[in-house]
Amino acid sequence: MVTRRRVLVGTLATTGAGLITGAGLLPVLRTATAQAADDAGPAVAPAPFTVKLPPLPVLTPYSTEGGQDAYRITVKEVSREILPGVQTKVLTYDGHFPGPVLRARSGRPVSIRHRNTLQMPMAVHLHGASVSPENDGAPMDTVAPGTARTYTYPNQQPNATLWFHDHAHHMEAEHVYRGLSAAYILTDDTERALPLPSGKYEIPIALRDARFDENGQLVYVMDDFRGRTTLLANGRPSPYLEVAARKYRFRLLNTSNLRFFKLRLADGGQFVQIGSDGGLLERPFTTDTVSLSPAERADVVIDFSRYPVGTKIVLETTMGGGAPGQVGNVLRFDVVRTAPDPSRVPDVLRTLPPLDALPKPAVERSIVFSMDEDGRTEPRGLIDGLQWDPDRIDQSVTFGTSEIWTVTNANKLIPHNFHMHLVQFRVLERGGVPVGPAEAGLKDTVQLLPGETVKLHATFDAYRGTYVYHCHLLDHSAMGMMANFRVR
């Protein structure tokens, strides 16, 4: 571990910065390490739309007895085909790249026994879940190489598109980048009663970027937001998906460390967003874009019945760079047949308390995120001016109360986002004004573009204990942009 830390700290020498504007992510600062990374050679840029979008493999429990689903996962390094015809070394949950999907039901606990066969400690965190501190996969609460640990998830929360990923401090960014993330879809009776597209018409899609060397191996350089130019959907570069001319439900997960996606159909076509991080929205809304910072999720329904069979429609991202010939191409939908469609999107999907009826906050706090952006060689990630200290409690919260947190990104150039363990919160406002429908539901991660301020409402009535909040641009949290709150 000591050796590993030294290696990683050695790679901290970049000032990853990007100016997000309406036009996209503009590279700004440049440092020696970023330059060295650029000199390592161009990313391999496969031609887009030559491989199929694979489904995420669904995990099967080894036992469903005693009212719970029990799983076993071996965390291991394997080689898998990402770029066509090339074997790439990846870190995996049970050998799967992309990471698999676990399907769970509210009210039915899940336990997962993870055996760590890596040379490094790891920790598994179920992002967006309400779990006890011992099961949260906290950064210092790691599973040593050669050992195993069982995490238990009560699933006492409504439907949500969750995901689990590595969280071993200082290594989480590289571990997640190398493959340690998986989807965890929690459904409930409310959701199952809705006539939404389901079965093979409900498809989770994990989006991310990556940088490959000339041998097709993953290159990890801390904060290398400009080098990771190959876009992957379910672990393949700009794949295509054959669809029927009917409605599909796509659960989009941004599993990138640093990349913001701003997704649209290339023809400008509209679709319907029905959910976000913490599950279904109260009401669906029609849009032509979905914007996802790292760790955010969007649940959308696209109706392909408006396209004649034979149409091919690209899902593109209009933010950030890409490899030449691949810029912006996330995936392509090929409409290849017709199909009956009994599904529909109801006007009301769930009920949530109106913002003005949320429990009165006991405390209001202000939190400031920042990162050194002066070009120094080892920039720090800071929350309220401090790097993460596992032994310091930054915020003390009283169990059973609600709070308002006002979080500001003090940077001029660098985007961040805010994620808090344990709770799903409501976003009250951004920059003093109410947020749009995409952020109106339950959220666990919220974007913070340079200079932005968001105001959140959270209720801490599930567990006592210490949890973290951090920037989910994981390279930033690995640089210290993380803090602790304790519920007591």
The residues that touch Cu ion, with contacts defined as CB under 5 A, are 127, 416, 421, 471, 473, 476
Q: Which does 96 bind (CB under 5 to 8 A by kind): ligand C2O, Cu ion, none?
A: none
Supply 457's token pair.
Answer: 């409402």
CA-to-CA distance for 52 and 161, rounded, in angstroms? 23
Binding mask 163-202 for ligand C2O (x = CB under 6 A): --x-x-----------------------------------
Shortest Å, Cβ 430 to ligand C2O: 21
Nearer to ligand C2O, 127 or 426 (CB): 127
Shortest Å, Cβ 155 to ligand C2O: 17
Shortest Å, Cβ 434 to ligand C2O: 26
Supply 16's token pair.
Answer: 């990853």
Helix (H, G, I), strand (E, B), or coil: what is residue 409?
Answer: strand
Nearer to ligand C2O, 457 or 470 (CB): 470
Shortest Å, Cβ 472 to ligand C2O: 6
- Taking Cα atoms as reference points, which of 251, 247, 246, 229 lies closest to residue 238? 229
Supply 30's token pair.
Answer: 């440049």
Using CB under 6 A as the binding rule, the residues of this chain from 117 to 136 that contact ligand C2O are 125, 127
Q: Which does 446 bind (CB under 5 to 8 A by kind): ligand C2O, Cu ion, none?
A: none
Report residue 179 CA to chain centroid gap. 13
What are the strands of the beta sheet with 279-287, ordered from one edge? 236-237, 230-233, 202-210, 247-254, 297-303, 271-276, 279-287
Shortest Å, Cβ 470 to ligand C2O: 6
Q: Which does 167 bind (CB under 5 to 8 A by kind): Cu ion, ligand C2O, none?
A: ligand C2O
Shortest Å, Cβ 399 to ligand C2O: 21
Whether the CB-CB separation of 7 and 218 falls below 8 Å is answered with no
Nearer to ligand C2O, 149 or 419 (CB): 419
Q: For residue 106, give every residue at least 6 positions away whose Cβ sits within 8 Å of its Cβ, in sequence order, or none.
A: 155, 156, 157, 158, 159, 186, 187, 188, 189
Nearer to ligand C2O, 33 or 424 (CB): 424
CA-to-CA distance for 231 and 319, rounded, in angstroms? 12
By CB under 6 A, residue 295 contacts ligand C2O: yes
By CB under 6 A, residue 430 contacts ligand C2O: no
Shortest Å, Cβ 295 to ligand C2O: 5
CA angle 423, 448, 282 (to 5 degrees): 50
Whether the CB-CB separation of 277 and 241 falls below 8 Å is answered with no
Shortest Å, Cβ 328 to ligand C2O: 26
Nearer to ligand C2O, 167 or 178 (CB): 167
Q: For residue 196, give every residue at least 6 positions away whose Cβ sits within 8 Å of its Cβ, in sequence order, or none.
A: 202, 249, 274, 301, 343, 344, 345
Q: Which does 435 bind (CB under 5 to 8 A by kind): ligand C2O, Cu ion, none?
A: none
Of the candidate spans 231-239, 282-290, 382-390, 468-476, the one that interacts with ligand C2O by CB under 6 A turns out to be 468-476
Nearer to Cu ion, 247 or 476 (CB): 476
Nearer to ligand C2O, 34 or 131 (CB): 131
CA-to-CA distance for 158 and 107, rounded, in angstroms? 9
CA-to-CA distance for 250 and 326, rounded, in angstroms? 22
Binding mask 138-167 for ligand C2O (x = CB under 6 A): ---------------------------x-x
Shortest Å, Cβ 468 to Cu ion: 8
Q: Which does 295 bind (CB under 5 to 8 A by kind): ligand C2O, Cu ion, none?
A: ligand C2O
CA-to-CA distance for 63 and 483, rounded, in angstroms? 37
By CB under 6 A, residue 208 contacts ligand C2O: no
CA angle 304, 440, 442 (to 5 degrees): 95
Q: Which of 208, 264, 419, 443 binds ligand C2O (CB under 6 A)?
A: 419
At residue 424, φ and ψ (nearest 5 deg) are -105, 130
Supply 415's token pair.
Answer: 């985007």
Q: Which residues bind ligand C2O (CB under 6 A)?
A: 125, 127, 165, 167, 295, 419, 421, 468, 470, 472
